[in-house]
């Protein structure tokens, strides 16, 4: 018997709900520290085989948790900053909140062997939502004009790699985030050299560092 048109969407909704439960469970387990796929499955109330159908490896869980962090915690912050009179300050606030959220998920960074690679991919897509803030900050003279949208994920990954690590404190993150953002000041800024296309693959570069 052929499936009716009404049944296929219902299966997709069910699958999405299961994936969402597993993602929430991933945040709960990893937020408590080191965890396993079996612990995440148990927290979600599903069998390990069901988890693997939706998330075939640890990297897939990390990707889903990062996407959830960005969509539920950071995008609303960016939307509220849309009309801010100080866009550079808003960018700083978003970066600070991102680092705090990743650090709060205590086991997230160490759960997958290539966390940096996954983070680069997610942040590259996330940077599109930050582009209007960047443009406004540049128009107001708060951020150097040679910074581009493509530079945003590279800038954020530098912060994540150095500051959103287990054991880092909010005070330490605040100190060095301020230092990083000082590099965006237009005054006395050295002109940025161009990125050579074949050498500009951030995912490859970070992945190579993670494997050393």
- Residue positions counted in the chain: 212
The whole-number pLDDT of residue 11 equals: 39
- Please give the Cα distance from 134 to 151 (Å, whole number): 11
Structure tokens belonging to residue 145: 């004009």
The reply to whether 51 and 83 lie within a common domain is no
The reply to whether 46 and 82 lie within a common domain is no
Q: Do 153 and 134 form a contact (C-beta atoms < 8 A)? A: no
pLDDT in tens, 129-151: 889 999 999 999 999 999 998 88
The reply to whether 7 and 110 lie within a common domain is no
Residue ending a domain, among 41, 56, 71, is 56
Looking at the 3D structure of the chain, how many domains does it have?
2
The whole-number pLDDT of residue 15 equals: 56
The whole-number pLDDT of residue 10 equals: 41
The reply to whether 186 and 125 lie within a common domain is yes
Residue of 26, 88, 29 lying closest to 62 (CA atoms): 26
The reply to whether 69 and 144 lie within a common domain is yes
The reply to whether 128 and 164 lie within a common domain is yes
CATH of the domain at 108: 1.10.357
Q: Do 30 and 63 form a contact (C-beta atoms < 8 A)? A: no
The whole-number pLDDT of residue 188 equals: 77
pLDDT in tens, 21-60: 999 999 999 988 888 999 999 999 999 999 999 999 999 9
The whole-number pLDDT of residue 14 equals: 54
The whole-number pLDDT of residue 45 equals: 94
- Supply the pTM of this predicted model: 0.76
CATH of the domain at 25: 1.10.10
Range of the domain at 176: 58-211
The whole-number pLDDT of residue 34 equals: 82
The whole-number pLDDT of residue 112 equals: 83
Q: List per-block mean pLDDT (blocks of 10 residues) for the chain, which spans 212 residues.
A: 42 67 94 91 96 95 92 90 90 91 85 83 84 93 92 85 80 91 88 72 52 50
Q: Do 100 and 170 form a contact (C-beta atoms < 8 A)? A: yes
């Amino acid at each position: 018997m052929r499936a009716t048109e009404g049944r296929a969407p219902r299966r997709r909704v069910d699958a999405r709900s299961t994936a969402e439960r597993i993602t929430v469970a991933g945040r709960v387990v990893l937020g408590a520290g080191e965890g396993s796929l079996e612990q995440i499955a148990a927290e979600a109330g599903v069998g390990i085989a069901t988890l693997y159908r939706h998330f075939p490896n640890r990297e897939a869980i990390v990707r889903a948790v990062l996407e959830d962090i960005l969509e539920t915690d950071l995008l609303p912050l960016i939307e509220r900053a849309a009309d801010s009179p100080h866009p550079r300050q808003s960018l700083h606030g978003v970066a600070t909140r991102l680092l705090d959220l990743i650090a709060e998920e205590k086991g997230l960074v160490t759960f997958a062997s290539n966390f940096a690679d996954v983070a680069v991919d997610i942040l590259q897509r996330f940077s599109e939502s930050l582009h209007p803030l960047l443009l406004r900050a540049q128009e107001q003279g708060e951020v150097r004009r040679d910074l581009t949208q493509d530079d945003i994920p590279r800038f954020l990954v530098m912060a994540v790699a150095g500051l959103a690590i287990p054991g880092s404190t909010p005070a330490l993150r605040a100190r060095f985030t301020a230092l990083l953002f000082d590099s965006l000041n237009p005054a006395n800024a050295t002109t940025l050299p161009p990125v050579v296309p074949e050498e500009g693959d951030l995912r490859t570069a970070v992945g190579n560092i993670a494997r050393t």
